Every structure is written in structure tokens, then in C-alpha cells.
Amino acid sequence: MKQLFFTKLSGAGNDFILFDTKNNSELSLKPQIIQQICNRRFGIGADGLILFSEANGFAFDMKYYNADGTTGSLCANGARCALEYGFETGRVFDEKINFLSNGTEYAGEILEKELVKFYLNPPKNFKYNFKIKAYNQLINASYVDTGSPQVVIKISDILADPKKPGSYFKKIEDVPVYQIGREIRYSPDLAPEGANVNFINIAEEYIHIRTYERGVEDETLSCGTGSVGSALISFVNDNLQMPIKLRAKSGDILTVDFKVENQKVSGLSLAGPAKIIFKGEITI
């Protein structure tokens, strides 16, 4: 039995359990332990888990794990939460903060308490307007890797009833995100890695977004890398102007900004709320 001290954080509704190695010596977490801790009925409950530690030459080092114990991909809301934690615990002082996430260097900025901007590395592997089979139909989709692979679909491109032409979804609340998202996430076209699946509707100066996240294997209240991917795709497909604001399922607003020069994206950032919800301890 071991007693661990944790901090629970939320990035626009995307929630994380953070273990600070300063407060938890010799911390080693196996995938099944991570699954147990992130379980919403038998553990603390979260979309993911962050190990926060000191790093030579950097403000901190964060290792990110999905709720199912897998790792390797970027979590932008998790990075923003780690930045907020570093600020709240007096580890982050500079305006521009350099840190490591799963071995890759990133930067961030505390705009004000509980409002954090995260700078992503340039996106790659854009693919626009291809067809993917799901929900008994061929659905128009686009793809981009923002540090984590993203499929982006406009809800007006999905038939609510595949047998009725013209029965496209009009309200994002009506889309069966779990059902369609899970089918596309495991599509042979995206094997073996799969992808997050983002459903968007552009209205009232916002991109309204809902996301099925791989690694969580469910819909989450917000997805940072998915919001960034959706903004990038909408910039091209729908001529949106920067900065682009997105309304997550949580109701929180995320802002994506970037520059495009010679068809290359630079200065890519995600800003929005990040806050500590509570602190506690758990015995494993």
C-alpha cells in the first residue's frame, strides 16, 4: 500500500489528475494503476494523468498518460493545466515558459490566474475533404496531426437518417458523438493509431465542437488538440479569420491563433481556462 498526494485540475472541462514527484518520491505508475485512478467510479476519475517533475534547463517536465494508460501523444489542455499548476506552486515565473512534455520541448504563457496559453509545434499531415465510411454512409472529413491525430467533421455533412437524403444534422446536441466517433476512431482507414474525432458546427462567431477522444474512449467535455485541429481545418475550408474561438461541450471558450506564411503555419497557440479543482490523497 502506498499513499499518493494528487491535484485535480480542469482545462475547459478536460480533467486531469496531477502527481508532483516532489510530493511523491519514487513514483512509478503502471497502465492498470493509471486506469484504476482515472476510473470515475472506482478511482478519482479523470480524462488523463500527469506526472509533474523538475527538469534541468526547463521550468518542468510533464509526462502525460491517457485514462486507459497509453501515452505518447500531446494533450494541449493537459499542458495548460500543468502550466497553471507550475504557476500556482511557484515553479513558473517567466512570461514565456519552456517545458518538456513526453520528451518534446514546448512553450507556454500565463496570461492571468487560471487563463493559460500553450504554444504547439507546427501541425503536419493535412488531408482535406476525403470520404470515410461510418454510420451507414460515406461522410466528408478532414485530417490533421496537431501532436495528436485529428479527424474533423462538419455536422452538416452527416445524414441523421442514412436512408433519407437531405436529413443532415442541424444541431450539434443531436449528433450521436460516441457512436459515430468510436466507429471512425477504429476505422481501418486510420489504423493502427486511430484518431480523435471532432464534430463541429460554425455558428454565432464560434466553432461549436464535440470530441470523441481516443485513449479516453469516450466523449470529453473539451479537447485542446482537437480544438486546434478543428480551427486549422476551418481556416482553410471555411475561410475563418484568426483568432478563432471555439465553444467546447463544457461551455468554456478556447481561442486558437496562428500565422500562415508560404503555406506554413507558425505561432500556433491555444488559450483558455485552466484551474485547480481540489487536492487530495489516494492509497494504492
* Residue 223 falls in the annotated catalytic set: yes
Tell me if 251 sits within 8 A of 14, measured CB to CB: no
12 in Cβ contact with 272 (< 8 Å): yes
63, 19 Cβ separation under 8 angstroms: no
Nearest to 14 by CA among 178, 216, 181, 231: 216
Q: What is the 3-state secondary structure (H, E, C) of 149-214?
A: EEEEEEHHHCECCCCCCCCECCCHHHCCHHHHHHHHHCCHHHCCCCCEEEEEEEECCEEEEEEEEC
Q: Classify strands 264-273 and 104-112 as parallel, antiparallel or unpaired.
A: unpaired
Secondary structure of residue 19 in the 3-state scheme: strand
Taking Cα atoms as reference points, which of 248, 146, 239 lies closest to residue 207?
A: 248
Active site residue 38: no
Which residue is catalytic, options 38, 75, 172, 244? Answer: 75
Catalytic residue among 12, 51, 223, 232: 223
| Residues classed as catalytic | 75, 223
